[in-house]
Amino acid sequence: MRKMKFNLFTPHRQYPSFECDSVKLPVADSVSGKFSGSYGIRRGHAKAVFALTEGKIIVSFAEKEIFSAECDGGFATVENDEVRVTADGIKEK
């Protein structure tokens, strides 16, 4: 089974990478910058860049949550089955 890789960075820390098969991100509205909902990413997703807002990041493997954290905003990129999140701040659950 092909897996994705999830990487998380803040100004003060690089978190360990996770192998996963899905990621949910709190996405910001392009006009207001406020929370517009959660966006799900799975293997094979097209290249993308997302503005993030305050909300919950959820990383899952085999339909089980393996990591979650509250994000203070930032951005995420998706390319070649890798999700890279650069967050302003993180509160781990």
Spatial separation of the C-alpha atoms in residues 68 and 73, rounded to whole Å? 15
Domain range list for the chain: 4-92
DSSP category for residue 17: P
pTM, rounded to two decimals: 0.91
CB 40 within 8 A of CB 6: no
- What pLDDT was estimated at residue 16? 93
pLDDT confidence of residue 52:
95
Domain 4-92 falls under CATH 2.60.15.10? yes
> What is the pLDDT, as a whole number, of residue 35?
80
pLDDT beneath 50: ranges in the chain: none
